[in-house]
Chain A
Amino acid sequence: MACSGPSQQEESPSQASAYIENKGSDTMVNLALAWAEAYQAVHPEVSISVTGGGSGTGIAALINGTVDIANASRQIKDEEMAAAEANGVEPVEFVVARDAIAIIVHPDNPVSQLTLQQISDIYTGVINNWAEVGGEDRPIVRLSRETNSGTHVYFLETVIRLGDKESDLLFSMDTLLLPSSEGIINEIRQNPNAIGYDGLGYVPRDLKVIAVARQEGGRYVRPSIASVNDGSYPIARDLYMYTAGEPQGAVREYLDWILYSPEAHDIVAELGFVPILHYNP
């Protein structure tokens, strides 16, 4: 499609403009908005509407055919796949970015590495003193986001239950549930007893990020764009976009831009997510 000026666009809007409806994950809504803004700035003929509502909402809308792209911070479930097939929709999956969850402590805390099992034990209340994991003799104060946060649920499933679907381990009852990322960061900044977790992009430089190993004796890895992409950092999740069938036209071009353009990857990194390394097509 040739580059069309705004005046030309007004004359023949039906030909020159494409409309993309994008809905889903709240984790991704800022990212999707930033992408849409940047893309519309260079492609004024495309208009993109982004809304949140949660991963499930986005996928449901995709199945019902009301959106072009669904955002999801988890993979599509089997039930949703079945519902889509029953509706004659074939969801196609794109991994558009990754999100690393960093484990953070006070900068004066001498502990700098933990295994997943140790983090799980800390959060379930099995380990209650920093001395048990090689630190000072201090009580551990566990901090978490509120239960309605997707990050809370991800942390419960991946870290506390170590990915075991049968497990019914829960957060220790005395885990502090703070309503915001700022609350967690504020408390860790001034309290050497505290441990917390948050999306890598939200962690300020003055806090200490713990290196994590999958198991005892494994390599301890700090979260970074490289360690997330090579899979060595264990607490990272993929962020997805789903389309109904192989994307065509403007949707295809938009997704290609998200997946392969350096501008889109810069936005990912700026917002604290991890860009995916793709080979150019």
Chain B
Amino acid sequence: MNSIRKLDWQEFFIPRLIKASGYSAILFVILIFFFLLRESLPTFGEVSLRQLFSERWYPIEARYGILPLITGSLLVTIGAMVIAVPFGIGTAVFISEIAPRWLREILKPLVELLGGLPSVVLGFLGILVLAPRLRILLDLPTGLTALAGSLLLGGIAVPTIVSIAEDALDAVPLAYREGAWAMGATRWQTIWRVTLPAARSGVLTAVMLGIGRAIGETMTVMMVTGNAPVLATRLDSLFRPVRTMTATIAAEMGEVANASTHYHVLFFIGMVLFLISLAVNLAASSIVFKAKKRAERVLS
């Protein structure tokens, strides 16, 4: 009797608890969104759109052009992805498909350990080792450039991508590979035409999370990109200093007067960041969704 009552009690509460924690993620995102909206909306009353999308960011003289910050963030993130995606997926393929068992058991934990490296430490490495060498190697005026940021952010994103992509590859049933081999496919053909496409949604998730990690990273980029708010639209911008949105918020939020125009604009920048990661997520999940539908058609 007693134990049945206990079971009832559990039956009642535990599913609801799980449900609540599931919904809470949505709730938090919505709350954060409304908070950002509330703090950033006054921007439109205080700064004209033309000024907001101009090219000069100098908040202490009331110049709030955020274009240099947006281009700076995009440039550093795209650069990081160009490095991290092939490298990350390649590493994941190697660990999952090629490496012998004993090596895999060393490599995977090592990569995950790399992911736990504090970004400040990477920033120090960037300032003391990477930036001076970049300057000498490429004969640049200074090594504190978008490229330094991209290289380090790439390094930060790689463990995320490797870890998740490797899980996805690992989850592809062995029968798929055996089928390919039976048809006379080489190892490379199997990886490229069978295993990777089958793990596509997981690999895409890995890339997405990697982008999220890179665009949201603050400390490292603040230390190595030089933080000069220059519009980064030319090809050689990669070899010049840039200022990212995250570094701007981190550097300026601490000193800004509450509810001032500068404060509202900083929240607006936060809003732009939020919208960019939302767009990346939506784009990625729509690709995954389409791919799934196609796969279902093929199977049926």
**Chain A bound to chain B:** yes
Contact partner of A177 among B61, B141, B243, B254, CB < 8 A? B243
Cβ–Cβ < 8 Å partners of B59 in chain A: 147
Chain A residues at the B interface, C-beta cutoff of 8 Å = 138-141, 146-148, 152-153, 168, 170-171, 173-179, 183, 186-187, 190-191, 193-194
Flag if B127 contacts A148 (CB, 8 Å): no
Say yes or no: is B270 at the interface (Cβ < 8 Å to chain A). no
Please, how many angstroms separate the alpha-carbon atoms of A170 and B63 in the complex? Answer: 11
Flag if A148 contacts B132 (CB, 8 Å): no
Say yes or no: is B60 at the interface (Cβ < 8 Å to chain A). yes
Cβ–Cβ < 8 Å partners of A193 in chain B: 141-142
Cβ–Cβ < 8 Å partners of B251 in chain A: 146, 148, 177, 179
26 contacts between A and B (CB under 8 A): A138-B141, A140-B141, A141-B141, A141-B142, A147-B252, A148-B252, A148-B254, A148-B255, A170-B56, A170-B61, A173-B228, A173-B229, A174-B241, A176-B144, A176-B228, A177-B229, A177-B243, A177-B251, A178-B226, A179-B222, A179-B223, A183-B223, A186-B128, A190-B135, A191-B132, A193-B141
Determine the residue in chain A with the shortest Cβ distance to B145: A176
Please, how many angstroms separate the alpha-carbon atoms of A168 and B227 in the complex? Answer: 22
Also in contact, A191 and B143, with CB within 8 A (given A170-B61, A177-B227, A178-B227): yes
Say yes or no: is B291 at the interface (Cβ < 8 Å to chain A). no
A138 to chain B, nearest CB (A): 8
Contact partner of A173 among B56, B128, B142, B252, CB < 8 A? B56
Say yes or no: is B83 at the interface (Cβ < 8 Å to chain A). no
Flag if B227 contacts A176 (CB, 8 Å): yes
Cβ–Cβ < 8 Å partners of B131 in chain A: 187
B contact residues, total (Cβ < 8 Å): 31
Determine the residue in chain A with the shortest Cβ distance to B124: A186
Say yes or no: is B58 at the interface (Cβ < 8 Å to chain A). yes
Cβ–Cβ < 8 Å partners of B128 in chain A: 186
Please, how many angstroms separate the alpha-carbon atoms of A168 and B62 in the complex? Answer: 12
B223-236: CB near A (< 8 Å → 1, else 0) gives 10011111000000
Contact partner of A170 among B58, B68, B254, B255, CB < 8 A? B58
Please, how many angstroms separate the alpha-carbon atoms of A190 and B135 in the complex? Answer: 10
Closest 8 CB pairs of A and B: A148-B255, A176-B226, A139-B141, A177-B227, A141-B142, A190-B132, A174-B228, A147-B60
Beyond A174-B241, A178-B227, 10 extra complex contacts between A and B, CB < 8 Å: A147-B58, A147-B59, A148-B60, A170-B56, A176-B142, A177-B228, A177-B243, A190-B132, A191-B142, A194-B142
Also in contact, A173 and B230, with CB within 8 A (given A148-B255, A187-B144, A194-B142): yes
Cβ–Cβ < 8 Å partners of A187 in chain B: 127, 131, 142, 144
Cβ–Cβ < 8 Å partners of B127 in chain A: 183, 186-187
Tell me the total A-B contact number using a CB cutoff of 8 A.
Answer: 71
B170 to chain A, nearest CB (A): 41
Determine the residue in chain A with the shortest Cβ distance to B229: A173
Flag if B230 contacts A174 (CB, 8 Å): yes
B53 to chain A, nearest CB (A): 16
B153 to chain A, nearest CB (A): 17
Cβ–Cβ < 8 Å partners of A191 in chain B: 132, 135, 142-143
Flag if B223 contacts A176 (CB, 8 Å): no
Please, how many angstroms separate the alpha-carbon atoms of A152 and B144 in the complex? Answer: 20
Cβ–Cβ < 8 Å partners of B143 in chain A: 191
Say yes or no: is B264 at the interface (Cβ < 8 Å to chain A). no
Flag if B228 contacts A146 (CB, 8 Å): no
Please, how many angstroms separate the alpha-carbon atoms of A191 and B254 in the complex? Answer: 29
Say yes or no: is B213 at the interface (Cβ < 8 Å to chain A). no
B84-126: CB near A (< 8 Å → 1, else 0) gives 0000000000000000000000000000000000000000000
B148-182: which have CB < 8 Å to A?
A: none
Please, how many angstroms separate the alpha-carbon atoms of A191 and B55 in the complex? Answer: 28
Cβ–Cβ < 8 Å partners of B240 in chain A: 174
Contact partner of B60 among A141, A153, A173, A176, CB < 8 A? A153
Determine the residue in chain A with the shortest Cβ distance to B226: A176
B203-217: which have CB < 8 Å to A?
A: none
B207 to chain A, nearest CB (A): 30
Please, how many angstroms separate the alpha-carbon atoms of A179 and B243 in the complex? Answer: 12
Cβ–Cβ < 8 Å partners of B228 in chain A: 173-177
Please, how many angstroms separate the alpha-carbon atoms of A179 and B252 in the complex? Answer: 10
Determine the residue in chain B with the shortest Cβ distance to A148: B255
B128 to chain A, nearest CB (A): 7
Cβ–Cβ < 8 Å partners of B223 in chain A: 179, 183
Determine the residue in chain A with the shortest Cβ distance to B219: A179
Determine the residue in chain B with the shortest Cβ distance to A170: B58
Flag if A146 contacts B227 (CB, 8 Å): yes
Determine the residue in chain B with the shortest Cβ distance to A191: B142
Please, how many angstroms separate the alpha-carbon atoms of A20 and B226 in the complex? Answer: 42
Please, how many angstroms separate the alpha-carbon atoms of A152 and B227 in the complex? Answer: 15
B2 to chain A, nearest CB (A): 61
A258 to chain B, nearest CB (A): 27
Cβ–Cβ < 8 Å partners of A176 in chain B: 142, 144, 226-228, 241
